[in-house]
Structure formats: structure tokens, C-alpha cells
Amino acid sequence: MDLEERKELVLRNTEEIIQEEELEETLREKDEPRAYIGNETSGPVHLGHWIQIRKMKDLQKAGFQPVVLFADLHTYLNKKGDEEWIQDMVEYWQATFEACGL
């Protein structure tokens, strides 16, 4: 995939980016840049998360390494479940994201 195709995937369905020149430089110079996403695991994955998953899949296809943080500590600190429930949610989220190819 050439630079323009990779750039097109990164920009697809995005509202804005900070610096297009920086994006082009990253795509040219880094073999596998990282793309990061984080979510508090305070409930089931829902349709709204599909937007994030699709964007991460675009980035992955463009050569980025996806990094997904399941913010279980945030869930705990925000008192959204006990430790066992939170661990179950993290496992569920991980299985869901893996099933989506991330």
C-alpha cells in the first residue's frame, strides 16, 4: 500500500487532524507507528464503540500498531463495580476487541 492509500485510510471518517504534514512524515518514516485508544470498562461494549473499533481497524490496515487500554482502574476508582465484576468486564472487552481483529 502506498503512502497516499495509507493516508486516505487514516483520514477516512475523521473530522480533523492536528498536522497533515506530521501525519505524512510519520507514515513515511515509521515502520509501525502506534495508535492508542482507551476505554473505561464500566459496562458492555455497545454499538457506539463500533466507531472507535472501525477507526482502529483503518489505522491497523494503514500500518499502525493498535494499542488498546482497558481502564479497569478508572472503573474501580469511579466506583462502577467491584473487583470481580470489573475483571469480568475487562475479559469481555478484550474478547470483543480481539474478535474484531484488534
DSSP class per residue in 17-69: -S-HHHHHHHHHH-SS-EEEEEE--SS---TTHHHHHHHHHHHHHTTPEEEEE
What is the predicted pLDDT for the residue at 18? Answer: 82
Q: What is the pLDDT tens value at each position of the chain, 102 positions in all?
A: 899 999 999 999 999 888 999 999 999 999 899 999 999 999 999 999 999 999 999 999 999 999 999 999 999 999 999 999 999 999 999 999 999 999
Check: pTM over 0.95? Answer yes or no: no
Please state, in angstroms and rounded to a whole number, the distance separating the CA atoms of residues 21 and 26: 9
Domains detected in the chain: 3-99 (3.40.50.620)
Distance from CA of residue 61 to its chain's centroid?
Answer: 13
